[in-house]
């Protein structure tokens, strides 16, 4: 990486704009910044899951996701993504299928919860859905034409299954929804 931060504050954003690379400055509430910020928040949410006690398998999956999300965040406003989205979506699907196979069929809706790691994973899933909506809006507005939304869509599915997987690993049952109690 050619640019290293030697000073964390620059004061260049004090008037409500921020740089997105290539000398381009945009307002801090620009849809590109909203999308990048949502992906960044998602990455932090995944970091929260990683702060819990996890199996090496779960830790490895989540660490891969964090690296992908950094690339996705940068790629949100670039015409060409930093990652091969199709390849990474295939990896998400393979991981999802492998984890889901051991869980058995889901016969009821579940509520976010269970063990702390699973609850944090459910939170990451909801943040992922918001990031996906922000990226979709960005694409619809013509600010992006890459497939970051595909990655985020599949990631939210994986985070749901991973939350169930984490509950299973902890010996904690999923919290089943009881409609019209």
In b/e form, how buried is each residue of 70-103, taking b as 16+ CB within 10 angstroms? ebbbbbbbeeebbbebeebbebbeebbeebbeee
The confidence score (pLDDT) of residue 80 equals 66
Instruction: Determine the pLDDT at residue 109.
Output: 93
State the DSSP H helix or E strand holding residue 77, giving kind and residue range, or none if neither: none
What are the average pLDDT values for consecutive 10-residue runs of the chain, which has 181 residues?
66 74 80 91 98 97 96 78 86 97 89 97 98 92 79 97 97 92 73
Q: Is 157 helix (H, G, I), strand (E, B) or coil?
A: helix
SS3 179: coil
Rounded to 5°, angle at Cα 177 from 175 and 178: 125
pLDDT at residue 16 in the model = 74
pLDDT at residue 139, as a whole number: 84
Query: What domains appear along the chain, each with residue ranges and CATH number?
Result: 28-171 (1.20.1200.10)
The dihedral built from the CA positions of residue 172, 132, 80 and 10, taken in this order, carries a sign that is negative
Question: Angle at CA 123, nearest 5°, toward 114 and 64?
Answer: 100
Distance CA 159, CA 62 (A): 9
The model carries a pTM of 0.89
């Amino acid at each position: 990486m050619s640019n290293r931060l030697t000073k964390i504050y620059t004061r260049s954003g004090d008037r409500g704009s921020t740089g997105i690379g290539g000398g381009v400055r945009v307002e801090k509430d620009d849809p590109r910044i909203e999308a990048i910020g949502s992906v960044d928040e998602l990455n932090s949410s995944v970091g929260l899951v990683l702060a819990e006690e996890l199996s090496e398998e779960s830790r490895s999956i989540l660490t891969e996701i964090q690296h992908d999300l950094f690339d996705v965040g940068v790629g949100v406003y670039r015409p060409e993504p930093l990652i091969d989205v199709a390849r990474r979506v295939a990896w998400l699907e393979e991981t999802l299928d492998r984890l889901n196979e051991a869980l058995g069929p889901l016969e009821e809706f579940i509520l976010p919860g269970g063990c702390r790691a699973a609850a944090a994973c459910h939170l990451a899933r909801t943040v992922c859905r918001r990031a996906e909506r922000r990226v979709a809006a960005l694409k619809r507005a013509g600010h992006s034409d890459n497939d970051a939304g595909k990655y985020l869509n599949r990631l939210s599915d994986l985070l749901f299954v991973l939350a169930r997987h984490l509950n299973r690993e902890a010996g904690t049952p999923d919290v089943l929804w009881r409609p019209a109690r």
